[in-house]
Amino acid sequence: MKLSTVMAGLVAATCMVSAAKADKLDDVISSGTLRCAVVLDFPPMGSRDESNNPIGFDVDYCNDLAKSLGVTAEIVETPFPERIPALMSGRVDVGVASTSDTLDRAKTVGMTIPYYAFENSVVASEKADFTTWEGMKGKVVGATAGTYEAIWLEGQVKAWGEGEFRPYQTQADVFLALSQGQLDATVSTTEVANANVKSGKFPGIKIVDKAPMVPDYVALFTNREEYGFINYLNLFINQQVRSGRYAELYKKWVGEGEPANLSVNGVYR
């Protein structure tokens, strides 16, 4: 075998090894920018201020993550149904977008340990004649397509065998439809429900009851094969909690009280 052939093989092998070692964590640090998918019609997690600047818990969380990496954060506004497509198409590096850690999603993207946990409430028209969550039976209900709330609500309508479920593109669309009388009720995270009722942007709505749903644990997500980046994200979440930053952001954006415990008995410590 010619020496030139051997050398060419060694060069190719070296390139392959280098390529194998390169990962998204290195790429983000090298680029100087962290692109975060964030939902901006989901207050207090994400919204815009009077100057149209992104604000909210998830916005601050992305900024904190970027700071820990020594890079600049870029907030990429991403509606709920577009969160995973934005990652798969390469538009973003990570989702900081209140994304439920479902097993179905984990078949497509790599998900971290929970960074937040939601409880859910039933929000209805002020004209609604029910006071408990069971009162939604037989009514027209809706939620943002593909979300934890939508999956649960649609399942309830099927189980009841009556009523109607309507999916919407954004959270704002859901609350607007509710305010305009196109929906009788929706299910939303308690944080978002409180924020939208208090905002005055959607007149004629009220919180009726807690929804009997298990806490909605949400995770950061990135490409499934990016183990180094996922490990970093998991450690970052851990550091946010033990440094007190998680509680600080909760108080800033949600209000008084204690943030939900991110541990699950026997699973997350």
pLDDT in tens, 147-186: 889 999 999 999 999 999 999 999 899 999 999 999 999 9
Pairing outcome for strands 164-168 and 140-144: parallel
Per-residue pLDDT, 262: 86
Calculate helix-pair angle for 57-69, 227-242, nearest 10 degrees: 110
Whether the pLDDT of residue 95 is over 80: the answer is: yes
Q: Measured at the alpha carbon of residue 76, what is the angle toward residues 75 and 82, in degrees to the nearest 5?
A: 145
Flag the least confident range among 9-13, 25-29, 137-141, 187-191.
9-13
Torsion sign (Cα): 85, 87, 89, 91: positive
Rounded Cα–Cα distance for residues 75 and 37 (Å): 6
Per-residue pLDDT, 65: 98
Arithmetic mean of pLDDT, 26-40: 97
Per-residue pLDDT, 22: 62
Rounded Cα–Cα distance for residues 83 and 95 (Å): 7
DSSP type of residue 152 = H
Per-residue pLDDT, 28: 98
pTM over 0.85: no
The CA-atom distances, in angstroms, between 268 and each of 15, 227, 245, 250, 261 are 39, 19, 19, 20, 10
- Cis, peptide link before residue 167, omega less than 30° from 0: no
Arithmetic mean of pLDDT, 79-98: 96
Instruction: Band the pLDDT of 17: cuts 50, 70, 90.
Output: very low
Arithmetic mean of pLDDT, 43-56: 95
